[in-house]
Amino acid sequence: MPVILKENNVFILETKNTHYVLGVDKNGYNRHIHWGEKCDINDYTIDYFGDENSNHTLLDEMKQEFTVFGSTMYRECALKAEFPDGCREISLKYDGCESDENNLSLKFSDRAYPLELTLNYRLYDGFDIIARWITLKNTGKHPICFEKIACAEFTFPGVKPYTFANTNGAWGAEFTQAQALVDGGRAVFESRGGGSSHNNTPQFIAYKNADEKSGEVFFASLAYSGNFKITASRDLYSVTRAVIGLNDFDFEYALSGGEIFESPKVYFGRADGFGNMSRQMNDFAVAHILPKRFADKPLPVLFNAWEAVGFNVNCENQKALASLAADMGVELFVMDDGWFGQRSSDWAALGDWYVNKEKFPNGLGELIDTVNDLGMDFGIWVEPEMVNANSDLFRAHPDWAYHYNTRQASELRHQLVLNMTLPEVQEYVFAIIDDLLTNNNIKYIKWDFNRPFSETGAQNLKNPKMLWYLHIKAVYDIVDRLKEKHPDVAFESCASGGGRADLGALSHFDQVWTSDNTDAVDRMVIQKGYSMLRPIKAMRAWVTDINWYSKPAPLSFRFNIAMQGALGIGGNLTEYSNRDLKICREYIALYKEIRPIVQFGDLYRILNIDDDEVLMNHYVSKDKTKSVAFIASDGTRLFKKRIPLRFEGLDKDRRYTFEFDGKTYEKSGAYLAEVGIPAHIRGAYYNKIIIIEEKKER
Ligand code: DGJ
């Protein structure tokens, strides 16, 4: 995967199937040259041209790799700074590059001020995905104040407009896909509430004519869990660009003398079709993004008691649930909200991370021992960045929450956000979780974050608008420190469901909570959106008793959907019949059998519920010897749908065998992909799981 340096400062980043080409021109401008299929490397050159006229300038037109604000450049910039003397323009000169087989760094510095900018790129063997990020260094003594810091800028090939796919989600409707055709002006996708949010997503998927199987797709995902902004635009020369990075809304970053700022990374690539894109990013995230300790390990089947008992946890009801969960094959028992302080509803006790003695008279030990004796690991819920006004912590430290003395604090979910930029708050948060993990046999932390920020006063900061960035940095740092000290503990990022389920969270946490909406019908849409640019194995999916319609779908339907990620159980098992418990037992056993394929295989999205009335996802093992297809439909109209099921992703030259609808099939991979088998999908809650195996020659 070489970085190729050509003469005249042209740099070719060669991945498995693509070239990403950039350069530095003789005037010191960083220039974008190509992103797409490989060409003859001798052909790549930098073009020179002048201003079109006094209203359309060279700088505005130029395809740059990373555009700084200044001079006659008026479009969206990637970097804007104010120097101590009040100058608000950056003017860069090129200082040279550093490179090796997989890395390239281009170094620039301001012509008049002590600022260095480095554009960094990293290639990964076997992938068409590249990481890029920037480094800023203040080589002077006085702070340089940044008004905007993007992490990357992209220029897209060709002149026709691109469609940018993002999400337009909400709590309970995370990852709901949305598209914007950008043929002029700008489309902005962003978050402003402190987290990466349930609404838009810090990623883009840009295409003209593409579907699951074909068409050129350009994608990028920002590894950052805070306020982000993506601005996609198309200019009067028909050039499409996208700038992606930290949101400049209420933003400031004062870079002190001598300080180095390394931006979050953007992972980007090119693919043929959305399916290929998702499979690339899935494998890439497992290999290079998820924290190493658990990345290549299958995630356990967990039970979480939140849907079963809400805040009414106590030692007895948790033990009862644990016993039933263990009996059905659950491997990890997670106690959710309600175990601490005076917590009986969301009105109180966030911040008081000591065990509630009425609920747990003998401390956590009795429950944890029971869970361990039942053969399961124990996990626990915390929401460490928050505090209720009605808590001992807030009474002792009212100044620890973001606030303005002159403004009424908005208590969303009756809680306030702790000022994580305060060193004493960081130490407090580290200490409470460190104590929990040191004193108890806890193997799993579910780290929640249930409201956006408001009244964001941070009197400790000279530049309070830095709090958005510093807050997220503090969270990452604390999680990393905890993981270093407690390496056997897995962490889950939860934010009222999937409000912080981005690649930044997944660089520090081992998995994410996908959505509080566990309704299996709605999950068909949510999980599809999730799967576009995130790793399947990190997607927690529970079977619960939630129903938004009339009654919960049959257990078989709920399992069908939840088994397509990292399976969890969340229903009130004490109310399950023996028959239901047996069904759970059987499905969990089946899940354990197919888990390596679901969590580490290749996903082919064959039918989707919105367009086809039927969901069909086919997960294929890497060696293509085994696969599992999930087919589900909450209801087909007119009571009939006779369709061929086609199984993409198998080896076309091998033969496979499986059972379906009482019939045994033996077919080639080619036949299964091209012709398929007949299925009669009808009625409410149709669901099937087909396990396909290579037919071994005797
Ligand atoms: C929101 C989470 O998404 C839920 O799973 C649960 O943990 C609740 N918070 C607890 O308050």
Tokens 């990357």 found at? 152
- Which atom of ligand 1 has the smallest separation from the CA of 494? 3
Q: Whose CA is nearest to atom 11 of ligand 1?
A: 337
Interval 321-375: pLDDT, tens? 999 999 999 999 999 999 999 999 999 999 999 999 999 999 999 999 999 999 9
Q: Which tokens go with 520? A: 């299996």
Ligand 1: distance of its center to the CA of 310 in Å?
9
pLDDT at residue 56, as a whole number: 86
Query: What does the buried/exposed string (b/e) look like for 553-584 if buried means 16 or more CB atoms within 10 Å of the residue's CB?
Result: bebbbbbbbbbbbbbbbbbebeebeeeeeebb
E strand or H helix at 529: helix 520-531
- Give the integer Cα–Cα distance in Å for 297 and 131: 24
Question: Which of 304, 336, 385, 519 maximizes ligand 1 atoms within 8 Å of its Cβ, making it the mutation to test the pocket?
Answer: 336
Instruction: Indicate the pLDDT class of residue 409, thresholds 50, 70 and 90.
Output: very high
Residues near 659 by Cβ (< 8 Å), separated by ≥ 6? 665, 690
Q: What would the mean pLDDT of 480-484 be, rounded to a whole number? A: 98
Model confidence at 277: pLDDT above 70: yes
CA of 450 relative to ligand 1 center, distance in Å: 8
pLDDT tens, 502-528? 999 999 999 999 999 999 999 999 999
Helix (H, G, I), strand (E, B) or coil at 328: coil
pLDDT tens-digit series, residues 215-227:
999 999 999 999 9
Which residues approach ligand 1 with their CB closer than 6 A?
A: 306, 336-337, 381, 448, 450, 494, 496-497, 513, 516
User: Which of 174, 304, 309, 337 to mutate to test ligand 1, by most ligand atoms within 8 A of the CB atom?
Assistant: 337
Residue of 110, 248, 283, 448 marked catalytic? 448
* Gap between the Cα atoms of 322 and 303, Å rounded: 8
Q: Of the listed 128, 283, 337, 516, which one is catalytic? A: 516
pLDDT in tens, 187-202: 999 999 999 999 999 9
Please choose from 311, 509, 513 the residue to mutate so as to test ligand 1's pocket, defined by most ligand atoms within 8 A of CB.
513
**pLDDT band for position 696 (cuts 50, 70, 90):** confident
369 catalytic residue (yes or no): no
Rounded to whole angstroms, what are the CA distances from 403 to 351, 456, 481, 495? 17, 6, 27, 21
Q: What is the mean pLDDT of residues 73-82?
A: 96
Spacing, Cα 306 to ligand 1 middle (Å): 7
Categorize the per-residue pLDDT at 591 as very low, low, confident or very high, splitting at 50, 70 and 90: very high
Distances (CA, A) of 632 to 202, 602, 618: 30, 19, 12
Cα of first residue to Cα of last residue in the chain, in angstroms, is 41
- Mean pLDDT, residues 431-457: 98
By the 10 Å C-beta count (0-12 exposed, 13-18 middle, 19+ buried), 441 is classed as middle
Task: Print burial letters for 157-173: b (CB count within 10 Å at least 16), e (below 16).
Answer: beeeebbbbbbbbebbb
For residue 280, pLDDT over 70 is answered with yes
Residue 52 has what pLDDT? Answer: 82
Residue nearest atom 10 of ligand 1, based on CA coordinates: 337
Please give the distance, rounded to the nearest whole angstrom, from the Cα atom of residue 448 to the centre of ligand 1.
Answer: 7
**What's the pLDDT band for 6 if we cut at 50, 70, 90?**
confident
CA distance 4 to 124: 14
Higher pLDDT among residues 265 and 637, named by residue: 265
User: In which residue are the tokens 């994580």 written?
Assistant: 420
Cβ-contact 141, 85 below 8 angstroms: no
Sign of the dihedral defined by the CA atoms of residues 544, 549, 552, 558, in that order? negative
Query: What DSSP string runs through 261-308?
Result: EEPPPEEEEEEEHHHHHHHHHHHHIIIIIS-HHHHTSPPPPEEE-HHH
Q: For residue 400, give the nearest of 387, 378, 419 by alpha carbon.
A: 419
Q: Is 448 a catalytic residue?
A: yes
The pTM is what?
0.97
Q: Residue 122 is which amino acid?
A: R
Residue among 444, 449, 494, 526 to mutate when testing ligand 1 (max atoms within 8 A of CB) = 494
DSSP helix/strand/coil, 573: helix
Exposure string of 406-431, with b = 16+ CB inside 10 Å and e = fewer, is eeebeebeebbbbbbbbeebbebbbe
Residue with tokens 């037992």: 585
Q: How many CB atoms lie within 10 A of CB 236?
A: 10
What is residue 539's DSSP assignment? E
Q: Count of CB atoms within 10 A of residue 264's CB?
A: 27
Q: DSSP label at 682?
A: -
| Atom 2, ligand 1: residue with shortest CA distance | 496
Per-residue pLDDT, averaged over 629-644, amounts to 85
pLDDT, average across residues 34-39: 97
Q: What is the pLDDT of residues 81-98, one digit of tens each?
A: 999 999 999 999 999 999
Average pLDDT, the chain: 96
Mean pLDDT (whole number) for 451-456: 98
Residue 1 has pLDDT above 90, yes or no: no
Residue 51 has pLDDT above 90, yes or no: no
Which pLDDT band, with edges at 50, 70 and 90, does 657 fall under? very high
- The 3 state secondary structure assigned to 618-680 is EEECCCCCEEEEEEEEEECHHHCCEEEECCCCCCCCCEEEEEECCEEEEEEHHHHHHCCEEEE
Atom of ligand 1 nearest to the CA of 516: 3
By alpha-carbon position, which residue is closest to atom 9 of ligand 1?
A: 496
d(CA 506, CA 284): 12
CA of 304 to the centre of ligand 1 (A): 10
Six token digits for residue 694: 């290579």
Other beta carbons less than 10 A from residue 683's beta carbon: 12
3-state helix vs strand vs coil in the chain, percent to 5: 25, 35, 40
Distance 532 CA to ligand 1 centre (A): 24
The runs of H, that is alpha helices, within 332-452 are 365-373, 392-396, 423-439
For residue 245, give the 3-state DSSP assignment: strand
Q: At what angle do helices 315-327 and 365-373 cross, to 10 degrees?
A: 10
What pLDDT does residue 639 have?
A: 58
Output the CA 388–ligand 1 centroid distance in Å.
Answer: 15
* Confidence grade of residue 103 (pLDDT, cut at 50, 70, 90): very high
